[in-house]
């Protein structure tokens, strides 16, 4: 008899977005005349940059010719894209990352999940609370998380690092020894960033304990403050203890186009094995590369026109973030994030629960948000608002919230 991976049976249902969808659809059905504005899900809304679509059109035309046709590409990504990434995302910031330390993929979500393949099941894993659920669920699937307790909403073997207003939404280094540490800055869902000093402490901890930091900087493009590191590899010593995940999804609107990359430094060795070699082996075995057309599109993000265009789009979302921050502050709410991030983390008023405040905004302002409790117990008492929406709709949503709470 075929047996199954029992760990899958331990996973709680993907409650958050299905429950949001259920409440939204029930409300919309009962109130067909109301126009809802969605500031919930973290998908982008602006079109791809013209430089990107031009490069993709050109690549499609190449594919229609005998000489320009591309079949299977290198599993690690084409050299032209790995070179461009090494140059623009690292060398330009004074960081030396070689193209063969960069693995192009179809998404940071897949990479954050798949990276577990190269680590043993006995590693102690630390995650933030609240957290991007992919880190938790993929470790649970691999049998690294133990058992789920519905009451505490915690897995028995994971080490949770609360991110609260008291610590500025930046986790403290755990008391117990941990082996794999997921960090995400700028953070989803809180919008917090890590300072250089904070990252230096993590790197020192990881090197001293032979731990590995899994650093997700999918939202790096939203950093505005000059002293905030864009990559963990700006921190001396990070190359012996960190893996970094990046994505074109939020940087350049590739959520539907799919392109990302992971950096595994060659200096990173655990148990005598090079993690770069292990990841290379994993990718070559289980992954067949990102389409040529998409990689040409990603390369165009780094052209002068591409850079100007994607920066304009990011500025568009950043203006939304400012409108949300200022408006909700005017409405008497306490907000954080949204300065170096497209997420605004909003404290619910008068001790309301996340879902209670979500319902109030849905029913009275007809605005859809995301309850913070869905990202972990420390998210209770917060909602997440995203700046990825249409400008006018965002302004309208904020005006409605101000009038409901004012
Ligand atoms: N990492 C974080 C923290 C995210 O919030 C997301 C998407 O929402 C991703 C990774 C996924 O990125 P990708 O679209 O490259 O799979």
Contact 299, 373 (CB under 8 A): no
Non-local CB neighbours of 326 within 8 Å, separated by 6+ positions: none
pLDDT along the chain (406 residues), means of 10: 97 85 96 95 94 98 98 98 98 98 98 98 98 96 96 96 96 96 98 98 98 98 97 98 98 98 98 98 98 98 98 98 97 96 97 97 97 96 97 97 92
Query: What separation in Å is there between the alpha carbon of 34 and the centre of ligand 1?
Result: 31
Q: How far apart are CA 2 and CA 21, in angstroms?
A: 35
What pLDDT score does 244 carry?
98
Instruction: Tell me, using a 6 A CB cutoff, whether residue 184 lines ligand 1.
Output: yes
What pLDDT score does 14 carry?
74
What pLDDT score does 18 carry?
87
Instruction: Tell me, using a 6 A CB cutoff, whether residue 301 lines ligand 1.
Output: no
29-40: b or e for each residue (b if 16 or more CB lie within 10 Å)? eeeeeeebbbbb
Q: Nearest residue CA, atom 12 of ligand 1?
A: 108
- Answering whether pTM is above 0.85, one says yes
What pLDDT score does 106 carry?
98
Q: In the chain, what is the straight-line distance between the N-terminal and C-terminal CA atoms, in Å?
A: 63
Q: Nearest residue CA, atom 8 of ligand 1?
A: 42
Instruction: Tell me, using a 6 A CB cutoff, whether residue 132 lines ligand 1.
Output: yes
Instruction: Tell me, using a 6 A CB cutoff, whether residue 249 lines ligand 1.
Output: yes
What pLDDT score does 13 carry?
80
What pLDDT score does 1 carry?
96
Instruction: Tell me, using a 6 A CB cutoff, whether residue 216 lines ligand 1.
Output: yes
Ligand 1 atom with minimal separation from the 109 CA:
16
Neighbours of 172 (CB within 10 A): 12
What pLDDT score does 69 carry?
98
What pLDDT score does 15 carry?
74
Q: Nearest residue CA, atom 3 of ligand 1?
A: 188
Q: Which long-range contacts (CB under 8 A, 24 or more apart) does 143-151 make?
A: 143/5, 143/7, 144/116, 144/119, 145/7, 147/10, 148/10, 148/11, 148/12, 150/12
């Amino acid at each position: 008899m075929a047996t199954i991976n029992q760990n899958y049976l331990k996973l709680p249902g993907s409650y958050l977005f299905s429950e949001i969808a259920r409440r939204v659809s029930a409300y919309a059905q009962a109130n067909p005349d109301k126009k809802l504005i969605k500031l919930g899900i973290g998908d982008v809304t602006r079109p791809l940059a013209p430089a990107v679509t031009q490069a993709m059109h050109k690549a499609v035309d190449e594919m229609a010719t005998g000489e320009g046709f591309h079949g299977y590409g290198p599993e690690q990504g084409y050299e032209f894209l790995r070179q461009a990434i090494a140059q623009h995302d690292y060398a330009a910031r004074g960081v030396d990352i070689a193209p063969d330390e960069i693995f192009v993929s179809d998404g940071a979500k897949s990479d954050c999940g798949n990276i577990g393949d190269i680590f043993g099941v006995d590693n102690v894993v630390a995650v933030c609370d609240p957290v991007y659920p992919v880190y938790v669920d993929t470790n649970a699937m691999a049998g690294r998380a133990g058992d789920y307790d519905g009451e505490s909403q915690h897995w028995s073997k994971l080490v949770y690092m609360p991110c609260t207003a008291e610590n500025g939404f930046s986790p403290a280094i755990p008391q117990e020894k941990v082996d794999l540490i997921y960090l995400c800055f700028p953070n989803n869902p809180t919008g917090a960033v890590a300072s250089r000093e904070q990252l230096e402490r993590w790197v020192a901890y990881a090197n001293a304990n032979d731990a590995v930091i899994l650093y997700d900087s999918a939202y790096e493009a939203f950093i505005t403050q000059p002293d905030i590191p864009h990559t963990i590899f700006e921190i001396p010593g990070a190359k012996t203890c960190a893996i970094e995940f990046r994505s074109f999804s939020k940087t350049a609107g590739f959520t539907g186009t799919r392109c990302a990359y992971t950096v595994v430094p060659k200096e990173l060795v655990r148990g005598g094995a090079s993690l770069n070699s292990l990841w290379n082996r994993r990718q070559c075995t289980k992954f067949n590369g990102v389409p040529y057309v998409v990689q040409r599109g990603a390369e165009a993000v780094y052209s002068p026109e591409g850079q100007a265009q994607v920066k304009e789009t990011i500025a568009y979302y950043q203006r939304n973030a400012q409108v949300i921050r200022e408006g909700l502050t005017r409405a008497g709410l306490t907000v954080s994030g949204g300065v170096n991030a497209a997420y605004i983390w909003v404290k619910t008023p008068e001790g309301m629960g996340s879902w209670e405040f979500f319902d109030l905004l849905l029913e009275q302002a007809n605005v859809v948000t995301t309850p913070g409790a869905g990202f972990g117990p420390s998210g209770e008492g917060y909602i997440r608002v995203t700046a990825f929406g249409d400008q006018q709709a965002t302004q309208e949503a904020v005006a409605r919230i101000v009038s409901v709470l004012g």
